[in-house]
Amino acid sequence: MGELMIGLYVFVLATLAGREVITKVPPTLHTPLMSGANAISGIAIVGAIVVASSAEGTARTVLGVLAIAMATFNVIGGFLVTDRMLSMFRKR
Amino acid sequence: MNTHILVELIYLLSAILFVVGLKKLQSPATARGGNGLAALAMLLAIVATIVDTEILSWTGILIGMAIGGGLGGIAARTVQMTSMPQLVGILNGSGGGASAVVAVAEFMGNPAVGVGTTGVTILLGTLIGGVTLTGSFIAFAKLQELMTGNPITFPGQNALNALLFVGVIVLGWFVLTGGGGQDPLVWFYVFCGVAALLGVLLVIPIGGADMPVVISLLNSYSGLAASATGFVIGNMVLIISGALVGASGLILTQLMCKGMNRSLANVAFGGFGGSAGVDKAQIGKRPVRSADAEMVAAELGYVNSVVIVPGYGLAVAQAQHELRKVGDLLQERGVDVKYAIHPVAGRMPGHMNVLLAEADVSYDKLFDLDEINDDFGTTDAVLVVGANDVVNPAARDPGSVITGMPILDVDKARRVIVMKRSLSPGFAGIDNELFYMDNTLMFFGDAKASMADLVRGVRELG
């Protein structure tokens, strides 16, 4: 089985797993769900590190740094703001 | 052990923790820990990548992380809860943008990639990421009122969008095959430009009140862009986490559409909010019963059960803290107080719940539409604050623009008090029968001042 097919299997199964898990998140937590899931999409930082670490040409390095900045903003901002919101959900 | 296998195992652990972290979001009690697990998963993935990659220069990486991390930290700490949709919008945009930039860099490293999996996924990552980037910034500008929140439409808009979609496919073919003897890089730059333009054109015709749908959809795109990038660099953890986010965004998009009883196509191409066939002059011309704060306090303070229905007008007036005080005082008097939240009560899914949580309302007092709708028949009094269309009984009758939209059945309560600035229509542009019903009292005024008056009123009940 080629790399592409394995990737497709993984993608489809992960989507189904995500569907199962996320359908059960109550509406009251939908905003933190969105900002938290959003932080997870900052996983592109992994790709950005690979690009930025190569010293192939300046344009590529500049793009890598730009991608790292954007992805880190997404990751740090997303997880921190989600934590801040969730700390407000209290039961009295 | 072979380093590469160790790295792959760490990636696997990271993917597992992402799923477990999201699962913990199923309850407010475990959610914070879940978010922490997801953050740990991210850290593990980053460490694994650093171990696995031969890093020739740290400078760029550290500069990028310092800038992004610094700005992200500041934004997360200082953002107002009412501005959460804007922040999530920018976060979506930068996540999608990062995926797109990685795809662009991969292409520039190998412009002669040719037709194949890598080439196609590079183009997909660039397209989806690019649309997410520019679309999110337009959504941000609309929410932040840097530009008009009204739908921007022009003749031939949908035809132009369709043309651009076809253009993207043709351009993509040219990029991969070097069509027309042109340098693939030139075609690629045009491709990037069209992707960015599409993001703008797809969001401008959508009105400000439809932003919950747009933000959810862009959230989904940012995940799909990450997945596409995962295919490009052959990294499973990107594919998995991108798929999780894609699924999450799609589910929320469907829920928001359901909350407004509209299809995604209708939101995307609709231009909703115009009220053809409604006689505007007649709106708000019929007599209503109005009440002052003292009367409202008496209506609420001597009963057994009160349900509070907050709408976006409450958040705009920053009156949620005063409202919570009203709820607390009623509870101290022995009244059973609940809050009923409509799916599209805020500017993004679950927004109103966050605003009330910030105002220190206990989360077990918050009920969504399905949980509470059967209770209204046995509720003594309902207090509607700054909501309109989502409590309009016309949604149950045929022939209204909001027919079929799920509403909170507040009119079934024994007494309904509607706190509102005036009788002006909501987003749907139609009159609300609720205001004229026998069991309804209108409590006119600015939400914040009125709630402060109501706090005093309830205190003085003795």
pTM of the model: 0.92
| Confidence band, pLDDT 50/70/90 cuts, at residue A39 | very high
pLDDT attached to residue B115: 85
Q: B300, B381 in Cβ contact below 8 A?
A: yes
Give me the interface pTM, i.e. the ipTM.
0.96
Tokens for B460, please give them: 């003085």
pLDDT attached to residue A57: 67
Please count the CA atoms within 13 angstroms of the CA of B197 that sit on its side-chain side.
15
pLDDT attached to residue A55: 66
pLDDT attached to residue B279: 59
Nearest-by-Cβ selection for A38 from B19, B91, B239: B91
CB contact under 8 A, A49 and B46: yes
Percent of chain B scored above 70 by pLDDT? 97
Q: How many CB atoms lie within 10 A of CB B270?
A: 18
Report which of B361, B381, B394 is spatially closest to residue B291, judged by C-alpha positions.
B381
**Best interface-test mutation with A: which of B7, B19, B25 has the largest number of A CBs within 10 A?**
B25
Tokens for B290, please give them: 């109005």
Nearest-by-Cβ selection for A61 from B60, B99, B351: B60
Residue type, B405: M
CA A53 vs CA A47, B21, B101, B225, B316: distances in Å: 10, 29, 14, 21, 46
pLDDT attached to residue B76: 97
Decide if pLDDT at B111 tops 80. yes
pLDDT attached to residue B181: 73
Taking only the tens place, the pLDDT of each residue in B80-90 is 999 999 999 99
CB contact under 8 A, A47 and B102: yes
| Residue keyed to tokens 């949620």 | B320
CB contact under 8 A, B38 and A39: yes
| Confidence band, pLDDT 50/70/90 cuts, at residue B276 | very low
Taking only the tens place, the pLDDT of each residue in B286-331 is 889 999 999 999 999 999 999 999 998 898 889 999 999 999 999 9
Q: B300, B270 in Cβ contact below 8 A?
A: no
| Confidence band, pLDDT 50/70/90 cuts, at residue A1 | low
Quote the DSSP letter at residue B286.
S
Tokens for A43, please give them: 């996983």
Question: Could you tell me how many CB contacts below 8 A there are between chain A and chain B?
Answer: 379
d(CA B312, CA B387): 6
pLDDT attached to residue A56: 66
pLDDT attached to residue B277: 47
Tokens for B21, please give them: 């972290």
| Confidence band, pLDDT 50/70/90 cuts, at residue B278 | low
Decide if pLDDT at A92 tops 70. yes
3-state secondary structure of B383: strand
Q: B79, A83 in Cβ contact below 8 A?
A: no
Average pLDDT over residues B371-377: 96
pLDDT attached to residue B307: 97
Which range has the worst mean pLDDT, A50-59, B7-16, B182-191? A50-59
Which positions of B are annotated as active-site residues?
389
d(CA A31, CA A54): 37
- With b for 16 or more beta-carbon neighbours within 10 A and e for fewer, the A53-88 pattern comes to bbeeeeebbebbbbbbbbbbbbbbbbbbbbbbbbeb
B12 and chain A in contact, CB less than 8 A: no
Decide if pLDDT at B401 tops 90. no
Q: B417, B300 in Cβ contact below 8 A?
A: yes
Mean pLDDT score across all residues of chain B: 91
Tokens for B292, please give them: 């002052």
d(CA B299, CA B288): 17
Taking only the tens place, the pLDDT of each residue in B208-250 is 778 888 999 999 999 999 999 999 999 999 999 999 999 999 9
User: In this predicted model, which residue has the larger pLDDT, A78 or B429?
Assistant: A78
Q: B353, A31 in Cβ contact below 8 A?
A: yes
Decide if pLDDT at B124 tops 90. yes
Q: How many CB atoms lie within 10 A of CB B91?
A: 31
pLDDT attached to residue B273: 45
Residue type, B401: V
pLDDT attached to residue B120: 93
pLDDT attached to residue B179: 77
Decide if pLDDT at B118 tops 70. yes
**Best interface-test mutation with B: which of A3, A65, A73 has the largest number of B CBs within 10 A?**
A73
pLDDT attached to residue B275: 42
Average pLDDT over residues B113-124: 89
Kindly report the CA angle at B442 between B436 and B443, in degrees rounded to 5? 175
State how far Cα A48 lies from the chain centre.
13
pLDDT attached to residue A85: 97
Residue B187 class from Cβ within 10 Å (0-12 exposed, 13-18 middle, 19+ buried)? buried
pLDDT attached to residue B246: 96
pLDDT attached to residue B274: 43
Beta bridge partners of A77: none
